[in-house]
Chains A and B, each alone.
Chain A
């Protein structure tokens, strides 16, 4: 039986993370689902006659960062073009893109075993271009009304299109690449870490090749997929479909595919009704000139590469591959961790961040970048607990209150962890000098001296009687003592395991 190898190429579309749109002053990143339709629309976005595009330099800077991160050669003089088609969500009747003379060419992204590949593999980039996003059609869910509404909030938001060479030979490679590319784009600040709301889309070109053959098969194009899980199912389905056709002696047709509700590919249109986009140089925009000085300037602002960072976390902090993954998957987590670990136990800092703080973030449904508790404040809390001044359980309560304060005390000076613990009377020993351990040692020592019969019983094996002592300690400390610490001191003083 003939073996077929999938040959896959990608066109990744990632919204550029800037305050304003590519060619207008309307908010770009505020264009979230929560905004009222058509509330972020300027004259140019709606294609009012006489309005003109003004290039957002931030988009250029971020495209430049992307090109540098992917080792692409930057075009010192790239130009914009118009791609024409009629659609209600495309106000000008054309999309401004870079067809003839794109922003950057070449480059690569390398994937390693840490990215989920068996062996390291280089995926080549064909080109990077800057373009506009389109608006959105909103179809009300009433079967009775044929009306379609147009929302232009997204129209004109800057998008980076990154086109790869057909270097992928499995759906898993595609997914691993997309994950790493997405992580890279938010790492350098070019795109959002948010997978929702169309911030990230991908077109996938799929064909299969007979093993040993140098000829490419006919390819189909799968349009607009945005979820990793969907990409995998869709590619595997499409590859199987093409192989089945070839096995039956039938041709694969050059088609554009969409997805059905099962994530299976279905034909949208064939080659014969492919639109002619009538590309034309954009006459309203002069060429985009990138100077060496700008390149140097942007290069100086580049963060360390993902692979370098991964290695450094391993050697410098001794973190496991798993924990490195956890930190690198959350935007801002590596920076937060490194700051937190300064002057603290590296493993404890990691555990406080990834279990305690992340749990609180999850509960509040926010990302670390929006965390109301800064590294310094969180560090103070850790020091209170690790110094034995507040119990571990109470420490979590303090954090909860810090989160609550961030909502209720907006703008006001927030109380520190120590303030909160004091206020709640959670400080062990009322915050007395010498700390909790000294206090508990004394307290427990006194109790043992008072009840020699119980000590004897415990030593005789009735360890349940220990509960009496811990209860007394809790009573005396109004429940602030760390139960673990109390248990440890008790056992050592009485001399039982």
Chain B
């Protein structure tokens, strides 16, 4: 285990959640960030950890948990890191450990060693933002930033029993976030309470001129989340319709199913109406996700050729040197680069990559068909067909994972056959770019001594703030 000290305040982690780093002076803030922060130090004294694939300027702090970037020092900080600092947060120089470049579901593919679960050290913390989730769960930080491409914030939040939030795609700046799959990557937040997440959300929810996919100005519509947030009565969720996807139950083991039912009962008790909704084409989501994510990864990681930064070529022979540097990628990253390279090949593009894009659009439409709110950018046509009675909802709820955190030794020896299968609940949400929050279900809903399992509440595109009200009700016992 790495033991980490952060100046006077001991910042130690028994779970290997933090990567050791030297204290370094904070970088100067971009003027536009400094201007908006001046009057509101809302995060004063909040200790925050940032995932290792989000750029900070300390020496070796942007390793992305990769051997290739172990000694890399970023010349600039990510916008999200600057925003936290500018609002008074005490950003740790140590970075949150994770799967290499954010690729993985268990935070075990790291050059800094695996992260273990603070609730049961024999188990994984979940990935890829495992260090972020574990650091919050073990109390070394109040809030942590992770990244969520296909569930990398939501899965570890579920395994570690904390709240994990994935915003609408484009809501938080990606500038300075080392790209894994650009069209899916989001910065997420982990904390012990929904209120803390909301506070950080308000800090990070700004348009970034340096990120071409930043859409933070997006109109959020009638703020039903705000209303629930302030509701004090018995039935704060009165009038709210929550959808339960019809295909989910059959994918769950008995133990998870009973927790799911408990959560639904709780929602009803608080006044919500539960309806069953059909989400078409979700059986293809995992395949489409891994095709698109791997393709984009193979492209984004092409820049690591040893010519400019990170580990550099030592061989005189250019090709041998390139091979040497690229051999520093871990096996999981290599696998995705190979897969991505294959699906983009001229002979496979149409049947794999293009087909996956079609599926992605269909999945987005399937959500459009069941949400009351209209998609602000790509509304689906004629969702209301004559004679059809499609149940419409404000939110969708599913478990965040099929099971609780697996044992580290099982995943390391490959007993968990398919690492990807754990992403089945989270991946469709990423493909559609929707906001989602994972909350541990209230203590009454789980037996004593049981490991946590989070419930995932999904909202329509751009309706991030609405999630905080309903998730707060779920956690407030």
Contact = CB atoms under 8 A, between A and B. Distances in A.
Partners in one complex: yes
Given A48-B75, A48-B309, A286-B213, A278 B341 contact: yes
A50 B344 contact: no
A108 interface: no
Interface of B: 54-55, 62, 64, 69, 72, 74-76, 78, 174-179, 181-183, 209-213, 295-296, 298-299, 301-303, 305, 307-309, 316, 318, 322, 341, 344-346, 349, 353, 357
B208 to A, nearest CB: 9
A82 B353 CA distance: 14
A86 B322 contact: yes
Given A276-B345, A276-B346, A46 B308 contact: yes
A43 interface: yes
A138 interface: no
A278 B346 CA distance: 6
B182 to A, nearest CB: 4
A52 B54 CA distance: 13
Contacts, number: 102
A93 B74 CA distance: 19
Contact of A49 (B55, B298, B316, B346): B55
Contacts of A94: 299, 302
Chain B interface, DSSP helix/strand/loop, else mixed: loop
Contacts of B210: 52, 54
Interface of A: 43, 46-55, 82, 84, 86, 88, 91-94, 146, 148, 150, 276-281, 283-286
B69 A284 contact: no
A277 B62 CA distance: 30
B318 A88 contact: yes
Given A46-B309, A91-B308, A93-B301, 8 more contacts: A47-B303, A52-B175, A84-B344, A278-B341, A281-B357, A283-B182, A285-B213, A286-B212
Nearest to A277: B346
B245 to A, nearest CB: 27
22 contacts: A46-B308, A47-B303, A48-B74, A49-B55, A49-B309, A50-B55, A50-B78, A52-B211, A54-B209, A54-B210, A82-B299, A84-B344, A94-B299, A277-B346, A278-B344, A278-B345, A278-B346, A279-B344, A279-B346, A280-B299, A284-B179, A285-B213
- Main SS of chain A's interface residues? loop
A55 B212 contact: yes
A49 B69 contact: yes
B174 to A, nearest CB: 7
Contacts of B295: 280
A54 B174 CA distance: 13
Contact of B75 (A43, A93, A283, A285): A43
A47 B75 contact: no
Closest 3 CB pairs of A and B: A93-B302, A283-B183, A278-B344
A150 B312 CA distance: 14
Contacts of A277: 346
B307 A88 contact: yes
